[in-house]
């Protein structure tokens, strides 16, 4: 079920009404949300419900074992993580692995004939596997204080607002929410509505228009476009992927909020970042912190000297790239991000006084922003291109003079909104929220309906799936 559809709207309204009517009966409330989450997932393809259920039950059992085990909880954690990663590898990486194995094999002799068919990638498998690992990891670290209950663990892994594309919740932060009954008086309804409307606007209007009118044509046939068009498309993809993914998570956070649950923020105006570290504190925050806590820190983090820190950073980002997709272009994207982080660390160690002075100037802040944005855009080219050939063609075409034929008024408008909108102060949204809070309830509902209608009318005739669904 896609968020920007009538089906989801009807589903969510029904779930909202029933869930709150059951709020006084926590067990029924949570049981209903669990069933609703499985309905939500099964709406796409019910054949993968057993996989979701199996992973959830397995991770909950292991988490319980870890909590009870006094002698060797690490063994249980290792088993749990290995099984979860094996499931992910089977669905996501087996074809990629075999393909590359045969390429290497072919260099030494005729490779064997393998009639391999990849399994259909279950929607959101990367996300629910990460949730399962988080459940076990948080229990191992003692961050989950209360004994894990099976029902709560199932809901944590499958809770529908975050099931398909995050944000990646921490068990240690979500399970305590399930332990207390939800109080409707403490819900920031207007914030939830604003997040949903804003998320829909970003996805349905900005992301979709940029995708269909600018990014897809150029990345399909870069050689047909001038440097101006290609540059615009690269900027367009930067805006598209931000609006697509942050739009999804805004809707997810808003829906969870209306149901009484708090999700962590996943984006904080990432293109206003001034250095790579700052960028990763603002972009897909739930993934970057997950990778930091469950990969970078266990590798040693920055505790084992400079060289080891750089190696750990590179490894973390390379694996982060591979998590996004079974392809070498994603690995290169991850490698670039790791390279940026390492370069920034090296640059930060420069203590030459003119450099120190330069860093303190306001001009340098903007120079850094521009430099970082373009470095990020270079990474996006690999992320978006279907092959290295296309990526390099995009770079080559940047040097070709010519007019920007795709720069129509609507495209330029949504591109500006997608990029410059990140510089809008957050207090604006807070002011709107406060102002809406003064309105009668009926008027607030009507205003929200008007906003949804406007988005529907302004949106394209068909809505593309979210980019992050494939991960």
Partner 1 sequence: MAGFAAVCVLLESEGLASWANHLEIGRLRTVAVPATAAVARALHPLGVFQLRDGTLDNLARVGWSDDAARVAAVNAPANHDGPVADGSTAKTLAKAPTPATLGANTPVVRDVPRVTSLTPLPPVEAGKTRVVALAGDSMMAVGLSSELMREAANDPRLRIVKAFRSGTGLARPEVFDWMTEYPAMLGAEKPDVVLVAIGANDGQGFVVDGKVLAFGSEGWSKVYQQRVADYLAMVGAGGARVVWVGLPPMRSASYDDKMAAINKVAYTVVSQSPRAVWWNPVSYVGDEAGRYREYSATGNVRLRQADGVHLSDEGAGLLTGALLKWLDPPAAASVVAATPGTAPVPTPAVAVAHKAKKRGRRPARG
Catalytic residue, candidates 29, 131, 284, 324: 324
Structure-block tokens of residue 412 = 């330029």
The reply to whether 181 sits near partner 1 by the rule CB under 8 A is no
Helix crossing, 49-68 with 73-88: angle to 10°?
170
Site for partner 1 (CB under 8 A): how many residues? 53
Segment 36 to 95, residues that bind partner 1, using CB under 8 A: 95
Q: Judged by CB, which is closer to partner 1: 98, or 269?
A: 98
* Residues 243, 248: Cα–Cα separation, whole Å: 8
324 tagged catalytic:
yes
Quick note: the x/- pattern for partner 1 over 416-445, rule CB under 8 A, is -------------------------xxxxx
Least CB distance from residue 367 to partner 1, whole Å?
36
Instruction: Closer to partner 1 by CB, 353 or 441: give it.
Output: 441
335 in contact with partner 1 (CB under 8 A) = no
Q: Residue 422 Cβ, how far from partner 1 at the closest point, in Å?
A: 23
387 is a site residue for partner 1 (CB under 8 A): yes
From CA 52, how far away is CA 102, in angstroms rounded? 31
221 binds partner 1 (CB under 8 A): yes
- The Cα 441–Cα 447 span in angstroms is 10
Closest CA to 276 of 187, 142, 197, 369: 369
Of the candidate residues 22, 51, 102, 436, the single one contacting partner 1 (CB under 8 A): 102
Distance (Å, whole) CA 35 – CA 13: 15
Nearest residue (CB) to partner 1, 224 versus 306? 224
Among 223, 348, 430, 431, binds partner 1 (CB under 8 A): 223
185 binds partner 1 (CB under 8 A): no
The two structure tokens encoding residue 1: 């079920």
295: nearest Cα among 249, 252, 338: 338
User: Exactly one of 54, 142, 184, 410 binds partner 1 (CB under 8 A); which one?
Assistant: 410
State the nearest-atom distance from the C-beta of 188 to partner 1, in Å: 16
Q: Is 22 in the site for partner 1 (CB under 8 A)?
A: no
DSSP structure class, residue 118: P
Contacts to partner 1 from residues 118-177, by CB under 8 A: 118, 120-121
Q: How many CB atoms neighbour CB 295 within 10 A?
A: 17
Q: Is 402 in the site for partner 1 (CB under 8 A)?
A: no
d(CA 448, CA 88): 39
Give residue for tokens 């490698």: 335
Instruction: Looking at 201-327, list the stretches that DSSP marks H as alpha helix, in order from N- to C-terminal side.
Output: 208-210, 216-220, 227-258, 276-280, 285-291, 306-324
Longest dimension (CA), the chain: 75
- Point out which span in 129-137, 311-319, 415-423, 459-467 binds partner 1 (CB under 8 A): 459-467
- The label of the residue with tokens 């920031």 reads 188
Residue labelled with tokens 């068919």 = 117
Q: How far apart are CA 83 and CA 65, in angstroms?
A: 15
Specify whether the CB–CB gap between 136 and 102 falls below 8 A.
no
Residue 113 interacts with partner 1 (CB under 8 A): yes or no: yes
Active-site residue numbers? 324
Binding-site ranges for partner 1 (CB under 8 A) = 6, 13, 16-17, 95, 98-99, 102-103, 106-107, 110-118, 120-121, 209, 212-213, 220-221, 223-224, 386-387, 389, 408-410, 441-446, 448-450, 452-453, 456-458, 460-462, 470
């Amino acid at each position: 079920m896609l968020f920007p559809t009538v089906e989801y709207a009807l589903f969510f309204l029904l779930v909202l009404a029933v869930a709150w009517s059951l709020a006084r009966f926590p067990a029924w409330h949570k049981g209903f949300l669990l069933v609703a989450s499985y309905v939500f997932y099964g709406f796409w393809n019910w054949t993968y419900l057993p996989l979701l259920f199996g992973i959830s039950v397995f991770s909950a059992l292991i988490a319980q074992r870890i909590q009870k085990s006094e002698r060797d909880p690490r063994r249980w954690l290792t088993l749990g993580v290995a099984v979860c990663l094996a499931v992910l590898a089977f669905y996501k990486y087996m074809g990629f692995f075999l393909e590359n194995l045969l390429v290497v094999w072919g260099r030494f002799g005729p490779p064997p004939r393998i009639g391999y068919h990849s399994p259909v990638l279950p929607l959101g498998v990367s996300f629910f596997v990460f949730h399962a690992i988080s459940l076990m990891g948080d229990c191992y670290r003692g961050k989950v204080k209360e004994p894990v209950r099976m029902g709560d663990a199932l809901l944590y892994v499958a809770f529908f607002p975050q099931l398909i594309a995050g944000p990646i919740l921490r068990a240690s932060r979500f399970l305590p929410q399930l332990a207390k009954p939800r109080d409707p008086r403490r819900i920031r309804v207007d914030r939830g509505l604003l997040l949903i409307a804003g998320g829909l606007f970003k996805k349905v209007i900005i992301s979709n228009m940029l995708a269909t009118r600018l990014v897809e044509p150029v990345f399909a046939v870069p050689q047909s476009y001038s440097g101006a068009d290609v540059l615009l498309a690269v900027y367009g993809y930067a805006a598209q992927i931000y609006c697509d993914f942050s739009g999804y998570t805004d809707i997810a956070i808003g829906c969870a909020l209306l149901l009484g649950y708090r999700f962590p923020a996943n984006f904080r105006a990432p293109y206003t970042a001034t250095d790579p570290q700052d960028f990763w504190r603002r972009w897909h925050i739930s993934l970057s912190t997950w990778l930091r806590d469950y990969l970078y820190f266990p590798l040693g983090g920055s505790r084992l000297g400079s060289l080891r820190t750089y190696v750990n950073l590179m490894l973390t980002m390379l694996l982060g790239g591979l998590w996004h997709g079974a392809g070498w272009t994603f690995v290169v994207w991850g490698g670039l991000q790791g390279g940026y982080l390492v370069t920034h660390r090296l640059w930060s160690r420069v203590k030459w006084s003119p450099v120190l002075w330069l860093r303190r100037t306001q001009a340098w802040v903007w120079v850094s922003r521009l430099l970082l944005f373009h470095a990020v855009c270079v990474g996006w080219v690999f992320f978006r291109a279907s092959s290295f050939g296309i990526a390099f063609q995009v770079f080559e075409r940047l040097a070709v003079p010519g007019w920007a034929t795709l720069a129509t008024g609507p495209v330029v408008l949504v591109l500006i909104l997608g990029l410059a909108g990140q510089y809008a102060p957050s207090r604006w949204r807070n002011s709107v929220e406060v102002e809406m809070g003064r309105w009668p309830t009926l008027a607030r509902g009507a205003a929200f309906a008007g906003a949804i209608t406007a988005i529907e009318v302004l949106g394209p005739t068909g809505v593309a799936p979210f980019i992050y669904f494939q991960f």
